Amino acid sequence: MASTEISTANEKISESSSDLIIVQNKATVEKLYKALSQGLALETVADLVATDLEYWFHGPPRCHHMMRVLTGESQADSVPFRFEPRSVTPIGGACVIAEGWEGAKAYWVHVWTVKDVV
> Within the chain, which residues score under 70 in pLDDT?
1-15, 40-42, 75-81, 116-118
pLDDT tens digits for 45-68?
Answer: 777 777 777 777 777 777 777 777
pLDDT given for residue 21 in this prediction: 87
List the one residue out of 19, 42, 24 whose CA is nearest residue 118.
24
Q: Which residues contact 66 (CB under 8 A, 6 or more apart)?
A: 55, 57, 83, 110
pLDDT given for residue 117 in this prediction: 62
Domain range summary for the chain, segments of one domain joined by +: 3-113
